[in-house]
Amino acid sequence: MKIPKIVAYLLLIILLKACGPQKEKKTGDFAVLPAPQEFTVTGISDLKADQIRLFFPENNDSLPVLGDALYKLSEANQKSDAQIIYGIDKNLDVPAEGYFLTIHEDQITLTGKDQAGLFYAFKTLEQLVSDAKEQNVYLPNCSIKDFPLLSYRSIHLDVKHHLEKTEYYYQLIDKLASYKVNAIIAEVEDKIQFERHPKIASADALSKKEWQKLSAYAKERNIEISPLMQGLGHSSFVLKHDEYKHLRDDLTSDWAYNPLDPETYKVQFDLYEEAIEATPNGKYLHIGGDEVHTTGRGSGKSALELQLQWLGKVCQFAEDHNRIPIFWDDMPLKHAEVYSPMFDTEITKEEVDEIWKENEHKLIEFLDQFPKNCIYMRWNYHTPETYGNSKAMDWFSDNGFQVMGATAGQTRWVLMPQRESNIDNIKSFALSSIESGLDGLLLTLWDDDSPHFELYMRGILAFAEYTWAGDQRSKDEIKKVYRHREYANALSSEKYAFIDQLETPVAQWKNLLLEGNSRNYLMSDSNAKDKLVMEMPDINKPGEWSKKYAERIEEAKTVLAISDTIDTRITEIKNKALRGLHNLEVYEQVNNLVQFSNNALLKLASYDQATDKLKRQEKLAELSNLKEQFQELRAGLEAVYGKTRILTKPDNYILDQDHHVHLANQSLSFDWQFYAELLFLQKLEENIIEKVALTDIKD
């Protein structure tokens, strides 16, 4: 049969296209956090994200909990049909939680050393698949061998001053798991509905059943939740109540228990036991024990002796309940006068050794009373690199005690973490812990001044990186990967950075409208408005106020220029971000608050510098609008924060004596966040707006 010419021509075109050059496959920018120990890319696979549909269990191992990138997977009937082949091999040549991952041309194999290792293999694959989907590229041909350098990688969840909305904790657990964080130490205080001592529980406390649900959810994602229940000191959440005041060491102070009273231990052990019941999958019981001096109540016993007596009893309780006790180690070191070198970056090694030589006997004298079943946790949030810090940790190790470090992503910073999310110190403590052969590290996130939890995320990611992977990425690389993973691959560039730039305006904002470093002390001073809020201009002395505050006015101009740039950048990022929108909204609100206070200061300066009555009336009108502007700003900030955070305490909540001036402990409402601004606006109203109005009436 003769083929028509036109058909033959079409067939030839089809054949030439089939045999001709193919469109080149593209791969993209893949950034796994934490960085794998070994990650070798050999080419480009034939797999795109939307082609990964079927899995096959090599040894009938159960499929780990999957995240968004892979949750639609189905099981294949036979191995050859699956894109993912997975299993557990206990003989795998990696430490616990380790895994191998290989992406072939059209198939992916994942092998975990254990269930945790398999889970983390999938977490790594999810990041790779997410990157491929986001960039519409093929997955790389690659092989990964990965395992953690620290086995215990825990973040601190401090809920003593407020709770997040419960669903946020579940979302947080998912996020922590995705970055291979494997533990949470929850500082629970009064946020458990205690059955033995219901009076101590806050009205908004989570039930033990809800804590148990969180614990189970976390365990499925290889995260163990252990409680931190403060003991001896930091015990205001108990001792503020009339029913427990008789247990105070100092009857006028709600800070510390009396360690000589047997009832102290009955109450503490009841609370510890309920905290253990609320977190059934935890391995540890953190018993606190820091920052406390007891009086001895005429017993003749020293504060160190009394603390060790308390420590021995609570450590035995923990052991009897199958928990390993963790104890903040600062007080024995303070009592022995070897504490200060840990925070002194100027002191020489020889000087540190001399201090220890002179004072070590004060510890040795009580050496037999230090419990051996306890982990002594050395917290240092700013100078973990000092010789004094390592000297203290070595003393415990050399004497046969278990040691673990604690770094910080949030200490006493107001509104947001500072020092580039404290990344340098997180890295330093992580690397020294790895080098010293320690088992783990805790990232503390203190709720004392209570920034929004979303603002801790960059520090958390840095912690996840350095505790798992060690020294693979620089600080700048961490920041880049943070933007990649938390916002979008397209936003990883330095031109989308803004967090570091916001730190200086926030630090300046803290006391901008105040005299001295007084924001944390306003609510405890009945004369704060007159004494601690900055002066107001005198209408009869135009320009004098501006001279007095000239430096502050210039700083405000500089900060506003920075804040305006940040505002533009956040808006641009929000328009391009594929995730992390709430995080960006929180940063945006922080920047808005900074802008308001600086604008208020500059409007006050313009009013002071007005040279005629007409101009002064114009500037007065601008000042009069500040109150309404602030109310609108506050409403916007609370709406954003309130998406995930409970902003107020229960109406019947009893505030304690606030020994450490924690902002978040100073009001039942969210007023504590804005108290400086509220007092400033009141003073402005009373000293300028109302006075000038009266003057105008008289005129």
Residues 176-199 have a mean pLDDT of 98
Rounded to whole angstroms, the Cα distance separating 300 from 279 reads: 39
CB 415 within 8 A of CB 590: yes
Token representation of residue 672: 């504590």
pLDDT at 19 > cutoff 50: no
Q: Quick one: pLDDT at residue 2? A: 45
Residues 484-498 have a mean pLDDT of 98
Condensed to tens digits (0 to 9), the pLDDT of residues 441-465 reads 999 999 999 999 999 999 999 999 9
pLDDT at 15 > cutoff 90: no
pLDDT at 638 > cutoff 70: yes
Condensed to tens digits (0 to 9), the pLDDT of residues 346-362 reads 999 999 999 999 999 99
pLDDT averaged over every residue in the chain: 95
Q: Quick one: pLDDT at residue 696? A: 57
Q: Determine the 3-state secondary structure of 409 from DSSP.
A: strand
Q: Assign residue 470 a region: left if phi > 0, alpha if psi is -120 to 50, beta otherwise?
A: left
Rounded to whole angstroms, the Cα distance separating 669 from 671 reads: 5
Q: Quick one: pLDDT at residue 308? A: 97
Q: Quick one: pLDDT at residue 9? A: 36
* Share above pLDDT 70 across residues of the chain, in percent, rounded to a whole number: 96
* Share above pLDDT 90 across residues of the chain, in percent, rounded to a whole number: 93
Q: Quick one: pLDDT at residue 1? A: 43
Residues 6+ apart with CB under 8 A from 597: 509, 512, 513, 677, 680
**Burial bucket for residue 639 (CB in 10 Å: 0-12, 13-18, 19+):** exposed
pLDDT at 22 > cutoff 50: no
Sign, CA torsion 39/45/47/48: positive
What is the 3-class SS of 218-274, one letter each residue? HHHCCCEEEEEEEECCCCHHHHCCHHHHHHECCCCCCCCECCCCHHHHHHHHHHHHH
Rounded to whole angstroms, the Cα distance separating 268 from 197 reads: 10
**Phi then psi dihedrals of residue 291, to 5 deg:** 50, 50
Rounded to whole angstroms, the Cα distance separating 429 from 380 reads: 8
Residues 6+ apart with CB under 8 A from 554: none
In the numeric block, the tokens 């804590």 are attached to: 211
Confidence of residue 140 (pLDDT cuts 50, 70, 90): very high
Q: Quick one: pLDDT at residue 14? A: 36
pLDDT at 7 > cutoff 70: no
Condensed to tens digits (0 to 9), the pLDDT of residues 375-434 reads 999 999 999 999 999 999 999 999 999 999 999 999 999 999 999 999 999 999 999 999
Amino acid at 4: P
pLDDT at 294 > cutoff 60: yes
pTM of the model: 0.95
pLDDT at 604 > cutoff 70: yes
Q: Quick one: pLDDT at residue 699? A: 52
Q: Quick one: pLDDT at residue 21? A: 44
Strand-pair partners of 40: 143
Residues 251-278 have a mean pLDDT of 98
Token representation of residue 180: 């291979």
Q: Quick one: pLDDT at residue 694? A: 61
Task: Give whole-number Cα distances, 402 to 396, 438, 442, in Å.
Answer: 7, 9, 14
Strand-pair partners of 84: 55, 108
| From 17-31, 86-100, 422-436, 531-545, the region with the lowest mean pLDDT | 17-31
Rounded to whole angstroms, the Cα distance separating 644 from 169 reads: 9
Sign, CA torsion 254/257/258/264: positive
| From 123-127, 242-246, 537-541, 581-585, the region with the lowest mean pLDDT | 537-541
Q: Quick one: pLDDT at residue 8? A: 35
Confidence of residue 611 (pLDDT cuts 50, 70, 90): confident
Condensed to tens digits (0 to 9), the pLDDT of residues 203-213 reads 999 999 999 99
pLDDT at 100 > cutoff 90: yes
Confidence of residue 258 (pLDDT cuts 50, 70, 90): very high
Amino acid at 211: W
Task: Give me the half-sphere count of Cα atoms (radius 13 Å) on the Cβ side of residue 418.
Answer: 16
